[in-house]
Amino acid sequence: MSQNLLELDHVTKRYGVGGLFSRQSITAVNDVSFSLASDTPEIFAIVGESGSGKSTMAKMILGNEVPDGGRLVFDGTDIGTIRTRAQREAFMTRVQPVFQNPFEAFNPLTHVDTYLYATARRFTGADTRAQQEIKADEALQRVGLSLAELKGRFSHELSGGQLQRVAVARALIPSPKLIVADEPVSMVDASLRMSIVNLFRSLRDELKVSIIYITHDLATAYYISDRVIIMQKGVVIESGGARAVLDNPTHPYSIALKNAVLPPDPKAAAAAIRQRRALVEGV
């Protein structure tokens, strides 16, 4: 029997909010379960609007937040049991993040290639600059760039799309099995968005990397995902094959989200916004 690459088993995360005398608890993620198979790389989308719990899910999968209930298991290891530096490094070699804002991920005063060398040194044991450059160039070629064009460049000299490609290249250096991409295209210029989205697809197909694609954008989720879950206020309200779920959403919130992809005609867009408000408020 093949082991799951990732398994979330009734995962719940609560945050305490408010002051000393008005302490309340928000359930950011509420009893979420799903799994990704080891032998079938896939793009698994977690879709929801702001506050639905998507980033909290990403943080838990990356081991940066601890669940209050349930457990997350990566490749047979309960992520909650990762304690030592060596265990953490081994986990990060296999699970890599890509974040929303590439301009925040790279210090403006540091050459971007420096990040790639540091990642190669940390995760692949490449300890000479020549070895690090080979690793960096291999990863950059994978994302349609090259070390020759990036060497000595600062982040502000690159477009958001190029910089996000560098972030993906950095994530690829350890040869991960899973990439957790939290809103990876929302800060990228609309004209370049699809090229990044297509890049994820090629990583799945050519490198056999699974991708958790976290987004509020139904259109790109529909375009690249194999499976999708839709979250509202921490709860999974719909899940299944991306086409099946997004072609025929059944929950009022998913229908509202789908309607939120506005038609170009202003009158139709205004009507869609009204309908969406009515549906969300009626939930």
51 touching ligand ATP, by CB under 6 A: yes
List 6, 11, 30, 54, residue binding ligand ATP (CB under 6 A): 54
Stretch that binds ligand ATP, among 49-57, 83-91, 154-162, 255-263 (CB under 6 A): 49-57
Please report how close the Cβ of residue 16 comes to ligand ATP at its closest, in angstroms: 7
CB closer to ligand ATP, 54 vs 258: 54
* Shortest reach from residue 130's CB to ligand ATP, in Å: 41
The torsion defined by the Cα of 139, 140, 144 and 148, in degrees rounded to 10, comes to -150
Site string for ligand ATP, 90-119 (x = CB under 6 A): ------------------------------
State which residue, 53 or 249, has the beta carbon closest to ligand ATP. 53
The contacts found for 141-149 with CB under 8 angstroms, 24 or more apart, are 142/169, 142/172, 142/203, 142/207, 143/168, 143/169, 143/172, 143/199, 144/195, 144/199, 145/169, 147/113, 147/116
Q: Select 51 or 69, whichever has its Cβ closest to ligand ATP.
A: 51
From 92, 63, 90, 68, select the one nearest 78 (Cα to Cα): 63
The yes or no reply on residue 41 touching ligand ATP (CB under 6 A) is: no
Q: Total binding residues for ligand ATP by CB under 6 A? A: 12
Distance of closest approach, residue 251 Cβ to ligand ATP, in angstroms: 16
Asked if residue 55 binds ligand ATP (CB under 6 A), the reply is yes
Q: How many residues are recorded in the chain?
A: 283
By CB atoms closer than 10 A (0-12, 13-18, 19+), residue 11 is buried
Shortest approach of ligand ATP to residue 220 CB, angstroms? 15
Does residue 155 belong to the site contacting ligand ATP (CB under 6 A)? no
Among 6, 8, 11, 28, the residue binding ligand ATP under the rule CB under 6 A is: 28
The verdict on 66 binding ligand ATP (CB under 6 A) reads no
The pairing of strands 4-17 and 178-182 is unpaired
- Least gap, CB of 151 to ligand ATP (angstroms): 34
Alpha carbons 76 and 187: distance in angstroms, whole number: 34
User: Which residues bind to ligand ATP, rule: CB under 6 A?
Assistant: 15, 17, 26, 28, 48, 50-56
